[in-house]
């Protein structure tokens, strides 16, 4: 038997196992957790660094609400942005939430906001731009007391989709199932 036929026989022997493994891997879906409106102060422009144009945008407060959780965004955090040469912003926001039942949740939210140059120019000029004209997505890590009813947030993959709205951002957070 030729080497090619032997190789084909080996592949055919393992094909059912590979197909079966793929069918057992769950397809992820999303479950809405909450929407947050985060209010911001004007950016502090650090300037051009070795990584890009660095900006620090103070978080001044806000609110969040979902089916099973609600409360306030606490003042004192910030979004530490690096804007690349093409206008894409790398987002790293660190802040805290306080639920209506008094639980503090630390959040680190990393992501990207990007758009075609003409849309980015409109955003920079302060124009209201529809969120379907740009891409703003993040991956969030939430930390909360393991004794709280929200402890499940400590071991959950969370993503968000967002939009800029005046002096705030609106983010919708989802649990990846």
Quick one: three-class SS letters along the chain? CCHHHHHHHHHHHHHHHHHHHHHHCCCCCEEEEEEEEEEECCCEEEEECCCCEEEEEEEEEEEEECCCCEEEECCCCEEEEEECCCCCEEEEEEEEEEECCCCEEEEEEEEEEECCHHHHHHHHCCCCCCHHHCEEEEEEEEEECCCCCCHHHHHCCEEEEEEEECCEEEEEEEEEC
Instruction: Find the CATH number of the domain harbouring 53.
Output: 2.40.160.20
**Whole-number pLDDT of residue 8:** 60
Cα distances from 22 to residues 7, 10, 25, 26, 176, in angstroms, run 22, 19, 5, 9, 19
Asked whether residue 93 is domain-assigned, the answer is yes
In the predicted model, what is the mean pLDDT of the chain? 92
For residue 46, pLDDT over 70 is answered with: yes
Q: How confident is the model at residue 1 (pLDDT cuts 50, 70, 90)?
A: low
Asked whether residue 143 is domain-assigned, the answer is yes
Asked whether residue 120 is domain-assigned, the answer is yes
Mean pLDDT of 140-146: 98
> Structural domain of residue 129, as residue ranges?
29-176
For residue 62, pLDDT over 90 is answered with: yes
Mean pLDDT of 148-175: 97
Q: How confident is the model at residue 51 (pLDDT cuts 50, 70, 90)?
A: very high
Asked whether residue 7 is domain-assigned, the answer is no
Are the C-beta atoms of 97 and 72 separated by less than 8 Å? yes
In the chain, the number of structural domains is 1
Asked whether residue 33 is domain-assigned, the answer is yes
Tens-place pLDDT, residues 78-121: 999 999 999 999 999 999 999 999 999 999 999 999 999 999 99
Q: How confident is the model at residue 19 (pLDDT cuts 50, 70, 90)?
A: low
Q: What global pTM score does this model have?
A: 0.85
Asked whether residue 75 is domain-assigned, the answer is yes
> CA 147 to CA 12: how far, in whole Å?
52
Mean pLDDT of 6-11: 64
For residue 4, pLDDT over 90 is answered with: no
Asked whether residue 168 is domain-assigned, the answer is yes
For residue 130, pLDDT over 70 is answered with: yes
For residue 21, pLDDT over 80 is answered with: no
Asked whether residue 6 is domain-assigned, the answer is no
**Whole-number pLDDT of residue 23:** 78
**Whole-number pLDDT of residue 32:** 98
């Amino acid at each position: 038997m030729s080497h090619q036929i032997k190789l084909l026989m080996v592949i055919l022997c393992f094909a059912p196992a590979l197909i079966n493994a793929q069918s057992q891997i769950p397809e992820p879906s999303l479950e809405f957790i909450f929407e947050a409106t985060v209010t911001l102060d004007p950016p502090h422009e650090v300037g051009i660094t070795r990584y890009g144009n660095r900006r620090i945008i103070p978080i001044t407060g806000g609110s969040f609400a979902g089916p099973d959780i609600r409360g306030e965004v606490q003042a004192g955090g910030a979004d530490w942005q690096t804007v690349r040469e093409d206008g894409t912003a790398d987002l790293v926001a660190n802040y805290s939430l306080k639920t209506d039942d008094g639980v503090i949740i630390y959040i680190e939210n990393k992501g990207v906001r990007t758009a075609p140059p003409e849309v980015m120019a409109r955003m920079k000029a302060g124009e209201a731009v529809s969120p379907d004209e740009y891409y703003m997505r993040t991956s969030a890590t939430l930390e909360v007391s393991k004794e709280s009813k929200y402890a499940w947030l400590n071991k959950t993959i969370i993503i968000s989709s967002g939009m800029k709205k005046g002096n705030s951002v609106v983010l919708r957070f989802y649990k990846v199932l």
